[in-house]
Chains A and B, each alone.
Chain A
Amino acid sequence: MRGLIRAPQNFWSGLALIAFAAFAVWGVRNLSQGTLTSIGPAMLPRWVAIGIGLCGLVLVIGSFLREGRPLERWHVRGPLFVCLAMLVFAFGIRSFGFLVAAPLAMVVCGIGSSEVRWRELLVFALALTIFCVGLFRYALNQPIPVLLLPGLAIEI
């Protein structure tokens, strides 16, 4: 395998495109394509997906013929904690409100950096939370729940 593929990045890109295209074609399998005079819902998605598949095929074939870039290194820490932070925010905002969700999410998010400094992060998280409540909730009047504590029946 290894000696055959001269451009690993393109090879895997191509395979991914083909898989994505196949998935889309499968996704619209139950919809009618219609005719050229009256285009059905599946016409565009299906043919565009086929086009994507062809692009993928070109990339895969090309990866055997021409030298190309190797795969890049992936970093897990940053994306992992940032994604976790987004989930914390998403599930915290409705249940506990911004005052709880935002600082919590920011602390989780901050761990994503390899240079995290705890004290600095905590101070920043608290300050930005207060700033954002002022800016978005009160100055810009966005409908963001500020604090919800169902047990105490507090709702701001």
Chain B
Amino acid sequence: MFDFVSHLAFGLGVALTPTNVALCFVGCLLGTLVGVLPGVGPIATIAILLPITFGLEPVSALIMLSGIYYGAQYGGSTSSILLNIPGESSAVVTALDGHQMARQGRAGVALGIAAIGSFFAGTVATVVIAALAGPLTEVALVFGPAEYFSLMVMGLAFAVVLARGSIVKAIAMILVGILLSTIGPDLTTGQNRLTFGFAWLSDGIEIAVLGMGLFGIAEVFRNLESVERREVVQGTIGRLLPGAEEFRQSAKPILRGTLLGGVLGILPGNGAVLGPFASYTLEKKLADDPDRFGRGAIEGVAGPESANNAGAQTSFIPLLTLGIPPNAVMALMVGAMTLHGIVPGPQVMTKMPELFWGLIASMWIGNLMLLVINLPLIGLWVRLLKVPYRVMFVGIVLFCCIGVYSLNREIVDIVILMVLALVGYTLVKFDFEPAPLTLGFVLGKMMEESLRQALIISRGSMMTFVERPVSAALLIAAVLMLAVAIVPKIRQGRDVVFVE
């Protein structure tokens, strides 16, 4: 227990230097600035802003990135509440009641309770991460390559179950992601694979470019299809601070949301995305009169927003302890860490304690930053949202171009971005989801490595994956989850969750 307090204090010491606080602040601000743009979710935001952290020390860069991450999350909620245009799937739920509240002139309260709920959830999640990180890292250290491989298989199976629409298409997307990750030199022999003799493919594809193309620009293409019918909530935003009655109504939903989101977020394979849906459904079930939901019930904002933020934060756990990103956003974080020469995994905590605890402490600071600095800036974001899309998308495209160019100062990267954007647009047209592809892309390289190592250790016997108990359990869990997803009855239930 004392251990854990001293670790947190140590982390706060690292994160609270003036430079790091300033960077966290700038990160939060820029993250919100880009994240608030309609149709730009956290993935695209992080991808766009990733290059600006390049010149920094690793610790500072990660602190700034987590600021960007929370800013992007919060920006997404802002555009869902004010515009009814959610930037990502988990913000869809917030839009339901949040936008109704905004239309009733309670936009300020909706934004306020979202920020307060998120802050509470963030605080709890930070403590959970700090408490769990140590023990989980020890577990991770006894994991061999076989266990790692099976764990990643389970994560991908979970991602398939959680993807919307066709299961076959989700599996195909994951496999395409893995295949794309193999482009470039083979790790042991150094032979180039699938580069077709092009020098610019010999380093493989950058995860940030992939994220920007598939999520940023492809979304622009989609939004350009329809003539814009966007109504920014007219009139006043109203007071930001919820009243005593509203606090009383939201207290329990925030608590329950935090718990639900936090637990789901730890699961590998993007469990965090379930949090808001689960919380909304739960609050609706528990409410005295469920009819209010969808008509501006504050519980419908407080619960899901807390769940969203708790999950967003606990999804750092698999990344920090095992080095396995559970979703596309964390996948980008891995990309960022690798660029700064950090290989995420259990060794980070022991070898670079200042980075590890500094990052955890800065998560809490990032959340606080959102509450005390971003909320008062709400007027600025509202004004930004009034910029018509016909102008805004031009800015989004330019930011993506600058972002990609600053990655390596390679012109060809912009061309790759263009191709990936067209691919992303095509995928959407054929009802494929790009998120599993991104996850497969990041896990692909790690999976190949652990598969190779596991088979070297077992002298080529595939049985090693089922003979080792932990690995076998993980694989069974994966198979069970896939089986569950295919059984028609439960599938209907899954669709209902996403429709709601």
Q: Which chain A residues have a beta carbon within 8 Å of chain B's beta carbons? A: 9-10, 12-13, 16-17, 20, 24, 27-28, 31, 35-42, 44-45, 48-49, 51-52, 55-56, 58-59, 62, 69, 71-72, 74-75, 77-79, 82-83, 85-87, 89-91, 93-94, 102, 105-106, 109-110, 112-117, 120-121, 124-125, 128, 132, 136, 140-144
Docked complex: B440-466 residues within 8 A CB-CB of A: 444, 447-448, 451-452, 455-456, 459-462
**3 A-B pairs with the lowest CB-CB distances in the bound complex, closest first:** A78-B224, A37-B460, A41-B186
- Which residues from chain A contact B140 at a C-beta distance below 8 Å? none
B189 at the binding interface (Cβ < 8 Å): yes
B205 at the binding interface (Cβ < 8 Å): no
A interface footprint on B399-413 (CB within 8 Å = 1, 0 otherwise): 001100110010110
> How many angstroms between the C-alpha atoms of A27 and B394 in the bound complex?
37
Find the residue from A86, A106, A121 having the highest chain B CB count within 10 A: A86
* Given contact pairs A36-B460, A52-B175, A113-B224, A31 touches B191 in the complex (Cβ within 8 A): yes
- Which residues from chain B contact A112 at a C-beta distance below 8 Å? 224, 393
User: With contacts A49-B179, A86-B421 known, what are 19 further pairs, Cβ within 8 A?
Assistant: A9-B430, A16-B430, A31-B186, A35-B460, A41-B188, A44-B447, A44-B451, A52-B179, A55-B168, A71-B429, A74-B429, A86-B401, A90-B405, A93-B411, A94-B411, A106-B398, A110-B391, A116-B390, A120-B390
Docked complex: B162-194 residues within 8 A CB-CB of A: 166, 168-169, 171-172, 175-176, 178-179, 182, 186, 188-189, 191, 193-194
- The one of A91, A105, A144 in contact with B406, judged by C-beta atoms closer than 8 angstroms, is A144
> How many angstroms between the C-alpha atoms of A16 and B426 in the bound complex?
11
Q: How far is the CB of B223 from chain A (nearest CB, A)?
A: 8
> How many angstroms between the C-alpha atoms of A93 and B404 in the bound complex?
12
- Which residues from chain B contact A58 at a C-beta distance below 8 Å? 168
Interface contact A115-B459, CB-CB below 8 Å: no
B221 at the binding interface (Cβ < 8 Å): yes
Find the residue from A16, A105, A113 having the highest chain B CB count within 10 A: A113
Count of chain B residues near A, Cβ 8 A = 66
- The one of B175, B225, B418, B432 in contact with A75, judged by C-beta atoms closer than 8 angstroms, is B225
Find the residue from B172, B225, B444 having the highest chain A CB count within 10 A: B172
